[in-house]
Amino acid sequence: MNYNKKTVYDIDVAGKKVLLRCDFNVPQDKVTGAITSDKRIVAALPTIRYLLGQGAAVIACSHLGKPEPSFEKWVKKQTEKGKDPAELTEEKWQKSLKKLTLAPVAERLSELLGKPVVFAHDVVGPDAKAKAAALRGGEIMLLENTRFEKGETKNDAALAKAMADMADIYVNDAFGTAHRAHASTAGIADYLPAVCGFLIKKEISIMGKALSDPARPFVAILGGAKVSDKIGVIENLIDKCDTIIIGGGMAYTFSAAQGGQVGDSLLEADWEAYSLEMLEKAKVKGVKLLLPVDTVIADAFSPDANSKVVKSGEIPAGWQGLDIGPETVKLYCDAVADAGTVIWNGPMGVFEFPAFAVGTKAVAEALSKTSAITIIGGGDSAAAGEQLGYADKMTHISTGGGASLEFMEGKELPGVACLLDK
């Protein structure tokens, strides 16, 4: 797949209506609905400001959450959760949709831009069409949650065409949704000239170069809960990396595969054979595949559980591994010290619990001190970096967890593939 895509710099937007796909899927307070972090809105500002400065009329769109666009599907989902169907009314369904309106995003975007943001109360309905038609150069509007439309996640051609009919140019700047072939992320490109914004350009440029032409030694740090979640990444990177570091819950499957005792630790027994295959493949290819040599174990999955350090493969029954141990910390930090490029996806332990965040923090600190190009692959890794105070010391932190993971797997991202090649 060609990731050398045209950007907003490569197309004349003056006087044009630009449909801009953003990732405004912001976290919200469950009670009040207030936005608890505006980072995703802030990330879109460079592209928005450029388009407005060039005299474009910007029609922004995004999804928010996972609303059920039909009453029937909502009832089915709620019933599966154990709710009484007799108590599920259309009024309650409509109330659930209102919680996922983009109106608060429009308000915050207006504050950040210092100018009005017109809000459409539908996506392709009368309100959106009328406001889009009235929009002038230098003005911006935001459509309602795209997932309120039944055809959004199905990449419905009629919906994509209706959205495209409101604009002259399509710009995708939502890397976090680029791995999804939805109407607003890919389908629109069938009807309009399509280019990327600054955010997507940065993502694919930095990560693309890291995968295709990395400064060496090239080190990948892979953590998180499950081996099964990282299969594609491991298989793709084992052909590219000099060193692969394994941490987090997935390490216990590797340990068990080698005959180790893992107690009550997270274990995917079905993936033990695969783990052995990866170890052998790494050996054949001359890739260092580093596993924990010790681990911090606890007698309960709790922030205040009793804990101690044991050698890997020697976890007694009733105990579970929640972090890498001090010897492993040193091993992993030494491995990145002279790296040229480091990609990190997945924490080393249960970083949400301070007592078991030591390994993740140590790795983050080591990356902050290295001269290597350091790329954090979104998701929990990004959250850990930010929570522990090292985010600003990394070369790049991806804005897309699922998208960056699939990118590292070598998969085609529909939201990028649909854009015009240079």
Q: 326-337 and 358-369 are packed helices; what angle lies between their axes, rounded to 10 degrees? A: 20
Rounded mean pLDDT for each run of 10 residues along the chain, 422 residues in total: 88 98 93 89 97 98 91 85 86 84 97 98 98 98 96 97 98 96 98 97 91 93 89 90 96 97 96 95 96 98 97 97 98 96 93 94 92 84 78 86 86 95 94
Amino acid type, 81? K
Tell me, yes or no, if 379 is annotated catalytic: yes
Q: Residue 413's pLDDT is what?
A: 95
d(CA 28, CA 20): 23
Tell me, yes or no, if 226 is annotated catalytic: yes
Q: Are strands 320-324 and 218-222 parallel, antiparallel or unpaired?
A: unpaired
Placement of tokens 């001090």 in the chain:
326
Nearest to 366 by CA among 324, 408, 308: 324
Tell me, yes or no, if 180 is annotated catalytic: no
Residue tagged active-site, from 223, 224, 247, 379: 379
d(CA 58, CA 244): 43
d(CA 247, CA 358): 13
Q: Ramachandran region of residue 343, left (φ > 0), alpha (ψ -120 to 50) or beta?
A: beta
List beta partners, residue 397: 376
Q: Residue 238's pLDDT is what?
A: 93
Q: Residue 2's pLDDT is what?
A: 75
d(CA 341, CA 205): 14
Amino acid type, 245? I
Placement of tokens 């009733």 in the chain:
318
| 3-state percent breakdown (helix, strand, coil) of the chain, nearest 5 | 40, 15, 40
Residue tagged active-site, from 33, 65, 402, 410: 402
> Longest C-alpha distance within the chain, in Å?
69
Is 28 strand, coil or helix?
A: strand
Tell me the C-alpha to C-alpha distance, in Å, between residue 315 and each of 36, 83, 85, 292, 307: 39, 40, 46, 13, 12
Nearest to 289 by CA among 233, 341, 246: 246
DSSP secondary structure string, 196-237? Answer: E-HHHHHHHHHHHHHHHS--SSEEEEE-SS-SGGGHHHHHHH
- Which parts of 127-204 are beta strand (E)? 140-142, 169-172, 194-196
Question: How many beta carbons lie within 10 A of that of residue 130, not counting itself?
Answer: 11
Q: Would you say 335 and 219 are in contact if contact means Cβ atoms under 8 Å apart?
A: yes
Q: Which structural domains are found in the chain, ordered by start?
A: 8-65+100-202 (3.40.50.1260), 214-408 (3.40.50.1260)
Q: Are strands 243-246 and 288-290 parallel, antiparallel or unpaired?
A: parallel
Residue tagged active-site, from 16, 17, 21, 40: 40
Q: Would you say 361 and 138 are in contact if contact means Cβ atoms under 8 Å apart?
A: no
d(CA 221, CA 364): 11
Tell me, yes or no, if 108 is annotated catalytic: no
Residue tagged active-site, from 129, 161, 209, 226: 226
190, HSE (Cβ side, Cα atoms, 13 Å): 17
